[in-house]
Amino acid sequence: MKTKILVTGGTGYIGSHTAVELIQQGFEVVIADNLSNSFEWIVDRIQQITGVRPQFYNADLTQLDQTKKIFQENPDIKGVIHFAAIKAVGESVKKPLLYYQNNINGLLNLLQVMNEYQCKCFVFSSSCTVYGQPDVLPVNEISPILPPLSPYGNTKQISEQIIQFQSDVTTLQSVILRYFNPIGAHESGLIGELPIGVPNNLIPFITQTAIGKREVLNVFGNDYQTPDGTCIRDYIHVTDIAKAHIIALERLLQEKIETQIEVFNLGTGKGYSVLDVIHAFEKVSHQNVNYKFVPRRDGDIEQIWADTTLANQKLGWKARLSLEDMVSSAWNWEQKIQDL
């Protein structure tokens, strides 16, 4: 019998890549997604890559009855990897209640139903935004959790606290993965980042500008205290991120965790500026990107990158793919989705 795992947000960007890795490692995958920022045909692509079709629920976790139905029909779910959340920093500043209602209520319902069905293995998709604008770089897992700069970042902080308090009084065991900036696409070119509407993230905006979907790429701010004036982030290939989730899940299933909750940073440990990424993309794609500088965006952190020592040592995980690999795979994906 294959071990059954629920992947919430499983047709989304990181969720779909993780579903692929799970299936390829021999797990049975159940996907739940409300398709607010993804498409059901992603399930077809997952099947195309793996040869296995995951079970799919068009479900909204903020609705308790829909969350319960998944477990009622799959009482043998042994673990949950929770991606289902909305995640645009800028949008969260403009629509804070939407972010609290979606990201917090969905988590509450999920943890409640998991407890009812005695499902205790939980991998949570968190974010480096919980660190706010750090005073010391790189950040490690014991760096201070500073006041959030956006409602999105705050929902991740609150979610981590909820998981901690629930773990104190139940059998819940969790691995919280704080990842930095996932980019890139699957090597097959069949799945990748596909935002609905105007992208909020850098890479799809770069690729859509290069291919002609967008007239110009707005670079938010060139007056930061960084070498070239643009924001610095720790960009990491989405496949490296997905593989870390499998390792974290297996750590839980094999009862190897050392405390009720373990927290790991996922990044490359290197910081790249917005201009670094644009220039790397231009180099590998042989395309010129039309960009212009515009004022800073509310909620953006100036610079952040990870200390990944703990994940390297405890999980035995390390990011393998380079920035060039990341932007090259993203460009391959962009070229293949023109007919969608």
Instruction: Give me the numbers of helices (H) and strands (E) for the chain, helices first please.
Output: 11, 13
Residue 152 annotated as catalytic: yes
- 303-320 confidence digits (pLDDT tens): 999 999 999 999 999 999
Confidence of residue 281 (pLDDT cuts 50, 70, 90): very high
Q: What is the pLDDT of residue 339?
A: 63
CB 2 within 8 A of CB 26: yes
The pTM score is: 0.95
Q: To the nearest 5 percent, what fractions of the chain are helix, strand and coil?
A: 40, 20, 40
Phi and psi, residue 305, nearest 5°? -150, 165
CB 255 within 8 A of CB 171: no
Phi and psi, residue 33, nearest 5°? -155, 140
- 3-54 confidence digits (pLDDT tens): 999 999 999 999 999 999 999 999 999 999 999 999 999 999 999 999 999 9
Q: Which position among 57, 99, 131, 152 bears the catalytic label?
A: 152
Domains of the chain: 4-183+235-266 (3.40.50.720), 202-232+269-335 (3.90.25.10)
